[in-house]
Amino acid sequence: MRIREYQSTDEKGWLRCRVLSFLDTAYYDNVLTQKETYENPSIELVTIEDGMVVGLIDIEYEQEERTVCSQGVGLGGMIWHIAVHPDYGRQGIGSELLFAAEEVAKRKGLNRLEAWTRNDEWVNNWYEKNNFHKIDSYLHVYMEGSQELKDSLKSEIPSLYPVQAFAHYTGKEKDSIKEQ
């Protein structure tokens, strides 16, 4: 296995690796049909084995404070994607990718990395094991059907009515929102 910079010819393998790795996670619904590009500079690495992308990490980084990351002082980078193909899991590929990306980030003058996760305990444990600290959280709220949506979301456009919604709740009454 070797880690190298992402190349545009890796896109199909990158997409396949990301989709397969996210299937058994809380992030299963975030399916991409093309690799994202970033407004700011980025560190994009892949792990290759048998000519196949089996791991990936994408970090968009700042050239000016608070343009990508939400916390800290100095320049940081946001981990947008880190994934390991499920057939290659539990081999340390994710940690190796993170370590390689951290080395590049240091050379670029970044002093921290930030990541946002969903509620997969094993994912959050992996980040903690790799010296990340929980700073903030919010609640993902899924609403579906007229009953759930009627008091929360309304359209002011005639004949347009919401049937499903995904929202972020950042308030303090998380338990009350969960009950609803």
Same domain, 76 and 155: no
Q: Which residues of 37-58 are buried (b: 16+ CB within 10 A; e: fewer)?
A: eeeeebbbbbbeeeeebbbbbb
pLDDT in tens, 40-80: 999 999 999 999 999 999 999 999 999 999 888 999 999 99
pLDDT reading at 36 higher than 90: yes
99 and 70 belong to one structural domain: yes
Query: So what's the pLDDT on residue 138?
Result: 84
Structure confidence at residue 124 (pLDDT): 92
Rg over alpha carbons for the chain, rounded to the nearest Å, is: 19
Question: pTM for this structure?
Answer: 0.87
Where does a domain end: 92, 111, 129?
129
Judgement on whether residues 75 and 105 belong to the same structural domain of the protein: yes
* In-domain check, residue 134: no
25/62 same-domain check: yes
pLDDT at 21: 96
- Tell me phi and psi for residue 86, to 5 degrees: -60, -30
pLDDT at 176: 85
Q: How many domains does the chain have?
A: 2
Q: Do residue 108 and residue 175 come from a single domain? A: no
Same domain, 62 and 124: yes
Task: Place 92 in a pLDDT band, splitting at 50, 70 and 90.
Answer: very high
Q: Which residue has the higher pLDDT, 169 or 86?
A: 86
Within this chain, do residues 84 and 122 fall inside the same structural domain, yes or no? yes
> For residue 72, is it within any domain?
yes
Distance CA 67, CA 110 (A): 13
Domain limits for position 103: 2-129
* Residues 93 and 20 both lie in one domain: yes
- Please indicate, yes or no, whether residues 25 and 44 belong to a single structural domain of this protein: yes
Claim to verify: residue 92 and residue 166 sit in the same structural domain: no
Per-residue pLDDT at 63? 96
